[in-house]
């Protein structure tokens, strides 16, 4: 792996979409109400999107770098318990 690639941001969501951890502290407590989160991630599907510089993320925020935004659900006995989200600088 190239050294110029790096983890840009990390979030952990509860089952209802609330951010319970973020590397950006001001995001904690906000809720992801987007369809992809509740219709895909909450049903156990990984959701990933490549965002080019000066384009919007899945949440509608303008990115100033090229990134991959990925949501990884975690399940407890086949029930959605939350998700990790990583933004990786590519």
Closest C-alpha to 71, from 15, 11, 28, 27: 11
**Mean pLDDT within 3-27:** 90
The residue among 90, 73, 83 whose CA lies nearest residue 5 is 90
Tell me how long the chain is. 90
Per-residue pLDDT tens for 18-72?
999 999 999 999 999 999 999 999 999 999 999 898 888 877 788 888 999 999 9
Distances (CA, A) of 84 to 4, 12, 44: 23, 5, 12
Q: Comparing C-alpha atoms, which of 58, 61, 56 is closest to residue 17?
A: 58
* 75: phi then psi, degrees, rounded to nearest 5: -115, 145
CATH, domain 6-89, list 3.30.450.20, 3.30.479.30, 2.30.110.10, 3.40.50.2300 = 3.30.450.20
Domain boundaries, given as residue ranges, for the chain: 6-89
> The pTM is what?
0.84
pLDDT of residue 1: 37
């Amino acid at each position: 792996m190239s050294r110029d690639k790096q983890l840009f941001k990390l979030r952990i969501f509860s089952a209802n979409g609330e951010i319970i951890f973020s590397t950006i502290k001001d995001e904690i407590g906000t809720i992801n109400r987007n369809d992809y989160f509740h219709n895909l991630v909450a049903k156990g599907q990984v959701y990933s999107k490549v965002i080019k510089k000066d384009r919007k993320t899945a949440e509608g925020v303008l990115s100033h770098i090229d990134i991959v935004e990925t949501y990884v659900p975690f399940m407890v006995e086949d029930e959605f318990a939350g998700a990790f989200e990583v933004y990786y600088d590519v």
